[in-house]
Amino acid sequence: MTNEPIFLSKLALPVAWEVLGAAPSPEDRERVAWENANVLGFLLHSVDLDAAPRPSDERLAEALRPLHLKLDTVIEMLGRLSYRDVALPPVYEVELGASHIAWRSPRPPRPGTWLRLRIYFDSKMLDPIVLYAQVISVVQDDDSGDASVQAELTQIPTATSDSLARLALLAQRRQLTRRPTQLAGAVR
């Protein structure tokens, strides 16, 4: 039995990839892991602030603490939003797990190809989660012309994987709760 975290989320997210000539070096993987931990920490901090219970009005200092934390978040976010003119990549239906990713693509990479994937969980904060993966399967669909792509992710540090799993679960929940509302609007 492994201690690898197990999660599987089906999401619609902007995803971009670039083909690498070879497997990523340990230094590249370590740098990306550090960057991902920072991005995940920021995204999850924002979620935690929104979900935090609000203190009672009995003490002004306690009541102002969440506002202070949100202001800190807004200031940090404004700094990151200075690159607003960056266009997001196309949205794909993605199946994301701790050790694999799958999606459908009109221009799939070849099996055996190493990829650097950039996945955007927030349309306002344009820092992506970067994952390295090797394509293990490409199955062409004759009807649609798209292909199902499956790739095996390089090992992700446990703390980062746990944060990614939490963020993916929250994003999936948010998308599922919006879907009935979107469908109801489309039926009218």
* Every domain of the chain and the residues it spans: 8-187
Residues whose CB falls within 8 Å of the CB of residue 141, separated by 6 or more in sequence, listed in order: 104, 147, 148
Does the pLDDT value for residue 122 go beyond 70?
Answer: yes
- Token pair recorded at residue 20: 């690498």
- Asked if 167 contacts 5 with a C-beta cutoff of 8 angstroms, the reply is no
Q: How far is residue 132 from each of residues 9, 56, 186, measured CA to CA in Å?
A: 18, 46, 37
pLDDT over threshold 90, residue 80: no
Q: What confidence tens digit (pLDDT) does each residue in 20-78 have? A: 999 999 999 999 999 999 888 888 876 655 555 555 555 666 777 788 788 777 766 77
Q: How confident is the model at residue 84 (pLDDT cuts 50, 70, 90)?
A: low
The mean-pLDDT minimum among 73-82, 83-92, 133-142 falls in 73-82
Mean pLDDT (the chain) is 81
pTM of the model: 0.74
Residue 98 pLDDT exceeds 70: yes
- Work out the angle at residue 13's Cα, subtended by the Cα atoms of residues 7 and 16, and round it to the nearest 5 degrees: 105
Per-residue pLDDT at 146 exceeds 50? yes
Q: pLDDT category, 183, cuts 50, 70, 90?
A: very low
Tokens linked to 12: 């619609």
pLDDT band at 82 (very low <50, low <70, confident <90, very high): low
* pLDDT surpasses 80 at 155: yes
Stronger pLDDT, 75 or 140, i.e. the higher one: 140
